[in-house]
Chains A and B, each alone.
Chain A
């Protein structure tokens, strides 16, 4: 580490507080970011991480509190002021403009000008190419429209853009959520912390990666900073306790009970072909949890959406409990007993302006009618029953669902699917962006569901989650089923191997 004094404090946050009307987002946040340090920011959804990021990035002004950057007062009035002061952020919700090129996005808001004060396209592209090469992203072409990039490329672009401002403090908010190859980021971080004295505030739900990158971490809970710990000397259980406030015993991963191989088939798929999948076949039995593992964009989205009736396949058959699923509509899938929890809950799942109870009761809305009108008390009873199953507190039922945390919104979606009486759940990454406590609840719901005879097909980007949850796991690669693992053979290493196309030895072993 050259030039960086490990003890000197780069960013000092003290007593930060922020409320939106009656809603308190931050109560009392204090933390120190040292020079050249990679410092983790941990906490469940709703703990206040996003608000803290917004304040540090200059988007929001705090109600109270003190910020010192390298000893000087730091009071940014806008994003640009924060950037000029040396703080740059790669946002979780990417801040890229899809209808503009990579070059334009990188150089916004001020493009390089040429003659007559007009943007010089070629020089902008050259500069963009330089920046991309400097940060190990040369595979992205400056001329491409951002809408043509994959999600992983967009995430990398977001990070590169933040880095290109040569900040003193870099804030990375869930930077690996969409990343294909996290190693890319880790290499970059190693490089910039070694070379200069950039300090990094690293926000992530993934403890393993946090431990690898960061020396210290600060835990937020309910808008308060609970404490700053040295990660090496703190157990996961202790971190968990700080984040959630209770002990982790009641939240152990637990084991999935075995399943009977002669149970009736719940979902039988043969020769399913679509635009991104080819000849996919599998049988999911009642009482079974079948996992799907795949790299990003290998056809899993289309596969699950076909099962949910949202997309029509080009060919192939689907049988639900022995009956062929003919129509490719969500309504048909629903009546066949499929319950789908989609990928993006904010845009494909919840209805933001409606109440939580209203969000949950949709599947049985027609049955709640009396003289054509919705019977509110029957709705309430029905919804409360399912809410209890997913441990969603009754007081949330009256609130607008937009006011709930991501985890609770996900619980509401699951409650909706359960209320529909579905016997076969199709879940697309149901625990993404969901806090640890809620994850455990969801696992419990899934296990209870199959113990009662239902079947679950679950796609997840977290292999560890799949390994401990599912009975069997399919692996997709380039739209085909690369292999299927179960029991002792189902390890993370083998799953990755299949998912990256190295199939032969795995298929032989399985």
Chain B
């Protein structure tokens, strides 16, 4: 009623009455998002019969892969209570390096991909170092690094990256297994591995712990600095991986290839239910958010209306998603189901 976060003022609820629900509010958010997206795809049939088809769904899933990969790193960092604003530049860097180091030669893939991931991971680790050892706020550190990386890339390439396409990477997008492009299968595996990493490994649990309370994590003996640096490194590498994939998809690299992925990565994570202050949220949510956003922009851009309207609708849908999928709403939904134990 007064807008206060009343829970903060020491109240201990009657414990006998509160049971941890089987499907938490986080999971309901994910389910809700996927449901909305599927409804959107089906509803797009109304716009044109060629919509809502498997072909379109496939295309959307392929497009989702980039945001999804970046969102893994972004979500991990946000879980820690941080933020990575350098992912756009990092993706560009990954793409440029792939283009010039691996381009044209299939055999270079074997050392090339790990090399690119290593480089982008190391740059990400620099973010982590700045945040932990120099206590620079993540917003500033990653913002600055993003500007610096972009500038370095600009200076090195002189404005136009040189290299060649990588056929092996393009193969991922063009070839299919049982009608499903290989890249989608790869992404499904990535999603599973990512979720397992966060939910079922000691590292993942410590991630949540540090995001909830860094002081308590330090006192409990966790190597907080190491974990933070590693997480930012993971974010850098994930963005680099997205750049690698993009080279495969588009056959080239440009200086702005990563720019349009920064804000969607944040949007996907936040819509997916991860709190910006850290400590809670699921990667599955970020995936669902990425899926929703990509579907939205695909459907919208196929509608024959002015660019301005398309942008407006995109923004409005994000807003609606945010309002509907607030934590309070999913908690309310949960309470509805558990009512009866008064």
Interface string of A339-361 (1 = CB under 8 A from B): 01010000111111111001000
Interface pick from A263-271, A276-284, A329-337: A329-337
Contact A93 B13 (CB under 8 A): no
Query: Across the interface, do B14 and A222 meet the contact criterion of CB distance under 8 Å?
Result: yes
Question: A46 with B335: in contact, given A331-B221, A348-B216, A350-B213 (CB under 8 Å)?
Answer: no
B213 touches A358 (CB 8 A): no
Stretch of A105-113, A211-219, A318-326, A404-412 with 4 or more beta carbons under 8 angstroms from chain B: A404-412
Cβ–Cβ contact A331 & B20, under 8 A: no
Q: Does A77 make an interface contact (CB < 8 A)?
A: yes
Q: Are A22 and B341 in contact (CB under 8 A)?
A: yes
Contacts of B208 in A (CB 8 A): 351, 353-354
Contact B209 A373 (CB under 8 A): no
With A330-B220, A352-B213, A354-B208 given, is the CB distance from A23 to B10 under 8 Å? Answer: no
B11 touches A399 (CB 8 A): no
Q: Is the CB of A358 within 8 A of B9?
A: no
Q: How far is the CA of A373 from the CA of B204 in the complex (A)?
A: 10
CB-based contact A358/B205 at 8 Å: yes
Q: Which of B202, B222, B342 contacts A369 (CB 8 A)?
A: B202
Let me know if B10 and A93 touch, CB within 8 A: yes
Cβ contacts under 8 Å, B13 to chain A: 20, 23-25, 46, 403
Contact partner of A51 among B2, B11, B334, CB < 8 A?
A: B11
Cβ < 8 Å to A, chain B residues 195-230: 196, 200-202, 205-206, 208-209, 212-213, 215-223
Knowing A22-B338, A79-B2 touch, does A54 contact B11 (C-beta < 8 A)?
yes
Is A3 interfacial (CB 8 A cutoff)? Answer: no
Question: Do A351 and B14 touch (CB < 8 A)?
Answer: no
Chain A CB within 8 A of B307 CB: no
Judge if B326 is at the interface, Cβ distance under 8 Å.
no
Write out the residue numbers on chain A whose beta carbons fall within 8 Å of the beta carbon of B9. Answer: 50, 54, 59, 91-93
What's the interface size class on B, roughly? 35 or more
Q: Does the CB pair A78–B15 fall under 8 Å?
A: no
Encoded as 1 (CB less than 8 Å from any A CB) or 0, chain B from 27 to 38 comes to: 000000000000
Known contacts A22-B339, A354-B205: A399-B215 contact under CB 8 Å? no
A23 near B18 with CB under 8 A, answer yes
Q: In the assembled complex, which residues on chain B have CB atoms less than 8 Å from the CB atom of A358?
A: 205
**A residues less than 8 Å from B213 (CB atoms):** 347-348, 350-352
Q: How far is the CB of A55 from chain B (nearest CB, A)?
A: 11
Residue B4 is within 8 A (CB to CB) of chain A in the complex: yes
10 A-B contact pairs sorted by A residue (CB < 8 Å): A22-B338, A54-B11, A59-B9, A329-B221, A351-B216, A365-B205, A373-B201, A398-B20, A400-B20, A404-B15
A residues with a Cβ closer than 8 A to B are 19-25, 45-46, 48, 50-51, 54, 58-61, 77-79, 91-93, 222-223, 308-310, 329-331, 333-334, 340, 342, 347-355, 358, 362-363, 365-366, 368-369, 372-374, 396, 398-400, 403-406, 408, 416
Q: List 4 A-B pairs, minimum CB-CB distance, nearest first.
A: A46-B12, A23-B13, A21-B335, A405-B12
- The residues of B with any CB-CB pair to A shorter than 8 Å are 1-2, 4, 6, 8-15, 17-20, 196, 200-202, 205-206, 208-209, 212-213, 215-223, 279-280, 331-332, 334-335, 338-339, 341-342
Contacts A351-B209, A362-B220, A405-B12 supplied; 12 other A-B pairs, CB < 8 Å? A22-B338, A23-B17, A48-B14, A50-B11, A61-B1, A93-B10, A310-B219, A348-B215, A354-B209, A363-B221, A368-B202, A373-B201
